[in-house]
Amino acid sequence: MKGLFQSVIVLGILLLAASCADSSRPNYQYMPNMYEPVGYETYQEVDFLPEGTAALTPPENTVKRGWLPYEFSNDAEGKELARAQQSPLDSLKAEANLAKGKELYDIYCAICHGNQGKGQGTLVKREKILGVPSYADAARNITAGSTYHTIYYGLNSMGSYAGQLNYEERWQVSEYVMKLKNDLTK
Amino acid sequence: MASHYEAPIRKPLVLGDKGYHDVSVDIAAPVEGKANKHWWIVFSISLAALLWGIGAIVYTISTGIGTWGLNKTVNWAWDITNFVWWVGIGHAGTLISAVLLLFRQKWRMAINRSAEAMTIFSVIQAGLFPIIHMGRPWLAYWVVPIPNQFGSLWVNFNSPLLWDVFAISTYLSVSLVFWWTGLLPDFGMIRDRAVKPFQKKIYSLVSFGWTGRAKDWQRFEEVSLVLAGLATPLVLSVHTIVSFDFATSVIPGWHTTIFPPYFVAGAIFSGFAMVQTLLIIMRKVCNLEAYITVQHIELMNIVIMITGSIVGCAYITELFIAWYSGVEYEQYAFLNRATGPYWWAYLLMMSCNVVSPQIMWFKKIRTSIMVSFIISIVVNVGMWFERFVIIVSSLHRDYLPSSWTMFSPTFVDIGIFIGTIGFFFVLFLLYARTFPVIAQAEVKSILKSSGERYKSLRAAGKPMYKIRKDGVVRETIMDSEGTLSNTDK
């Protein structure tokens, strides 16, 4: 009986200790020696910087290694000029590029444009967003170059995807969009 | 007893006209009496040293190991020196209680209790250092292989530092059990004599209801023998493992196969010296001269002399092997010890450990209490320097001359060491006032074979008991004129 009483007390103390953990806030830490970074993490809040974050915007008109600025401007004239540009990707690796392009398209584009590019993505079907055209729309007459331009800058209600996709990925998606267009107009 | 044969060459181990009751009274006296002024003075000094040491430890842990005199080359110095020193001191206790029990040495019975207490208290001091010399002592529990949430991250069993953990913790727990088991009959005796209710309660608790039945005694003896048999390999292996901290390394001056036995011999050497220091004082202040006799001191001196000679042989072996090896690093390590910047430490170690015990060959010296006391302190100084020399002189100059450096301790290093000495004496002084410092049950078991009274009765051909006409059995006792009678004393 005494042993039972003691184990109940021990269990109670354990429960009491466990009840101190609160799921709505970070749990207690034991000796957090190297839990908090000494250096600056990418999106860490930094009070002495103007934007309040360690992620600073680079100065304008600077070019980093392995990157070149896009040469066409964000207007109708730029788009017309961009329409003519060819995909720089290696045509011998077209299969792999299309496969990659499909993956990226399904992630970033299909939610509005639909898996076949008919403009019937999930958001359109649920009427969250309207007026997404089909790639087969003859009036639009999209090319790989104009697709690239649109991904880079966005168009009308579509925003830019330059932050999500890099140079090569944008071309892979553009090539895949051309394939979808061909499939639709066949 | 008439059939008992005891060689007449053996000197009595219990002096004076002591019967069983006298043994109880003498041993219970410090526990039942009040502490005198001197005890309080010494206790206060020890307590002050302990508090100072606690301050130094708190300062180290809260500020960092950089408060010590260590540097990037000499990254073990006073910490591990003191650790090995205290562990070494602890070894004599187990040696006296276990090895001497296996060898049936009756003289151990007057000293084993205090020697074991010394073991426990010095292993506690030693156990502090592996913790406080850590950079992050609050993670010390990581050395224990417990299942955990790091994917059950485990310890590496290849490190002698981990073996140290097992060695020291096992050593402490086995010693504690061995000591406490031996204490049961004695606590029972104090309990039965106690008149104050509080004292009675306390000693009832610690004596675990010992009633001294034949069956209890039979099992008690078996347990003691088994524990002695276990403690003996333990005592050898613990200091061996401590020596592996160095011997398994690649440092010239450390990487030696001689270390395990040599460290053990050194441990017995320094441990016996510490027992000697403590008991010479204790026999005086607790009036135990009848039990801890000059013969005991002489026998301990002989052990000190023998182990000192073993240590001396080890020193010479090391020097010979260094020369014989043809390894220039090892040769330089020993040249550096003898003639380098720490030559004085090497000289102190050599003179204290090799030369000083050799004077014990003279009977006049080894039976002199004063000289024994001085030598016992000298030996412990020497053994401290042995560990210091091995650790620091091997580290501060090794393979790369660009890494050569020096070591000097800070007040924190020294403060912690003083603190452990204070802690040791705080424990020992408290022990001396609350524990039966001599195993009275064991002394009573040899009283009739080795007590002076009974020896002289035997020599005089007198019976040890007389049955009176009314059937009462009485011990034969000696009166002040030395005549023997059977009275009602």
Structure tokens at B374: 């001085």
Across B48-59, average pLDDT: 96
A29: closest CA of chain B, how far (Å): 13
Q: pLDDT tens digits for B174-227?
A: 999 999 999 999 999 999 998 899 999 999 999 999 999 999 999 999 999 999
Instruction: Give the Å distances, CA to CA, from B245 to B235, B267, B348, B415.
Output: 16, 15, 24, 24
Say if A68 is an interface residue toward chain B (CB within 8 Å). no
Would you place residue B237 in the very low, low, confident or very high pLDDT band (cuts 50, 70, 90)?
very high
Say if B138 is an interface residue toward chain A (CB within 8 Å). yes
Buried/exposed code over B190-216 (b: 16+ C-beta within 10 A; e: otherwise): bbbebeeeebeebbbebbeebeeeeee
Q: pLDDT tens digits for B430-485?
A: 999 999 999 999 999 888 888 887 788 777 777 777 777 777 777 766 655 556 55
* Of B178, B183, B281, nearest in space to B231 by CA: B178
Would you place residue B8 in the very low, low, confident or very high pLDDT band (cuts 50, 70, 90)?
confident
Which range among B5-14, B28-37, B214-223 has the greatest average pLDDT? B214-223
The answer to whether B261 and B244 have CB atoms below 8 angstroms apart is no
The CA distance from B402 to B254, in Å, is: 20
Angle between helical axes of B78-94 and B411-434 (0-180°, round to 10): 20
* B467 φ, ψ (degrees, to nearest 5): -95, 115
- As a whole number, the mean pLDDT across chain B is 90
The CA distance from B344 to B332, in Å, is: 17
Say if B136 is an interface residue toward chain A (CB within 8 Å). yes
For residue B484, the model assigns a pLDDT of 57
Would you place residue B489 in the very low, low, confident or very high pLDDT band (cuts 50, 70, 90)?
very low
Q: pLDDT tens digits for B360-375?
A: 999 999 999 999 999 9
Judging contacts by C-beta atoms under 8 Å, the chain A residues touching residue B136 are 31, 33
Judging contacts by C-beta atoms under 8 Å, the chain B residues touching residue A33 are 136
Q: pLDDT tens digits for A137-184?
A: 877 888 888 899 999 998 888 899 999 998 999 999 999 998 888 888
Say if B195 is an interface residue toward chain A (CB within 8 Å). no
Q: pLDDT tens digits for B118-168?
A: 999 999 999 999 999 999 999 999 999 999 999 989 999 999 999 999 999
Q: pLDDT tens digits for B244-277?
A: 999 999 999 999 999 999 999 999 999 999 999 9
Handedness of CA B338, B341, B345, B347 (dihedral sign): positive
**A-chain residue closest to B135, CA distance:** A33
Say if A33 is an interface residue toward chain B (CB within 8 Å). yes
How many Cβ atoms are within 10 Å of B187's Cβ, its own excluded? 22
The CA distance from B56 to B415, in Å, is: 6
Angle between helical axes of B259-285 and B294-325 (0-180°, round to 10): 160
For residue B154, the model assigns a pLDDT of 94
Instruction: Give the Å distances, CA to CA, from A146 to A77, A84, A160, A169, A174.
Output: 12, 8, 13, 15, 9
What domains are defined for chain A? 76-185 (1.10.760.10)
Buried/exposed code over B290-306 (b: 16+ C-beta within 10 A; e: otherwise): bbbbbbbbbbbbebbbb
Say if A27 is an interface residue toward chain B (CB within 8 Å). no
Handedness of CA B254, B259, B262, B267 (dihedral sign): positive
For residue B19, the model assigns a pLDDT of 83
The CA distance from B182 to B25, in Å, is: 19
pTM for this model (two decimals):
0.87
Judging contacts by C-beta atoms under 8 Å, the chain B residues touching residue A31 are 136, 138-139
For residue B120, the model assigns a pLDDT of 94
**A-chain residue closest to B138, CA distance:** A31
* Of B398, B338, B384, nearest in space to B73 by CA: B398
The CA distance from B30 to B443, in Å, is: 17
| Interface predicted TM-score of the whole assembly (ipTM), two decimals | 0.72
A40: closest CA of chain B, how far (Å): 25
Q: pLDDT tens digits for B404-432?
A: 999 999 999 999 999 999 999 999 999 99
Low-confidence ranges of chain A (pLDDT < 50): none
Tokens 């307590």 correspond to B47
* Of B79, B106, B92, nearest in space to B6 by CA: B106
Handedness of CA B173, B434, B95, B78 (dihedral sign): positive
